[in-house]
């Protein structure tokens, strides 16, 4: 990913690990979502305010490729890069890398869209700030 990508530093908390001592697979989706919400805020958009305005963003597909496992106490960086590959889709390319080594832990491609009051997909003007 290039230098213009949004990034967020985080740290693994003990309770996010399973009995094997590694981060539970489902927790990675929380990390990815938190980074996407912070990315929106960095672009002047609030997920809660968008929802209040009737801009409902939904995930339609989540592709996660697990490479290595994070463990309790690990510091890591989550990156976000948005693209608009079709008329109604928004795609977030994301990575999680352990710090300070930058080892790739996970790659993700999260596809989203907004739905209108009739539950039909569309791309609202407000989301153009992400591109």
Residues labelled catalytic: 18
- 101's CB contacts (< 8 A; 6+ apart) are none
Q: Contact, 82 vs 92, CB < 8 A?
A: yes
Bridge partners of 114, per DSSP, are 57, 122
Give me the sign of the Cα torsion angle 26, 28, 33, 38: positive
């Amino acid at each position: 990913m290039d230098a213009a990508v949004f990034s967020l530093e985080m740290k693994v908390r003990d309770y996010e690990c399973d009995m094997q001592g590694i981060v539970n697979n489902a927790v990675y989706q929380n990390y990815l979502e938190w980074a996407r919400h912070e990315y929106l805020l960095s672009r002047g958009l609030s997920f809660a305010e968008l929802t209040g305005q009737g801009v409902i963003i939904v995930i339609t597909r989540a592709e996660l490729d697990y490479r290595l496992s994070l463990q309790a106490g690990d510091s890591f960086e989550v990156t976000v890069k948005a693209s608009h590959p079709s008329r109604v889709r928004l795609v977030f390319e994301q990575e999680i890398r352990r710090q300070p080594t930058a080892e790739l832990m996970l790659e993700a491609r999260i596809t989203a869209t907004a739905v209108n009051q009739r539950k039909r997909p569309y791309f609202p003007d407000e989301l153009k700030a992400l591109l």
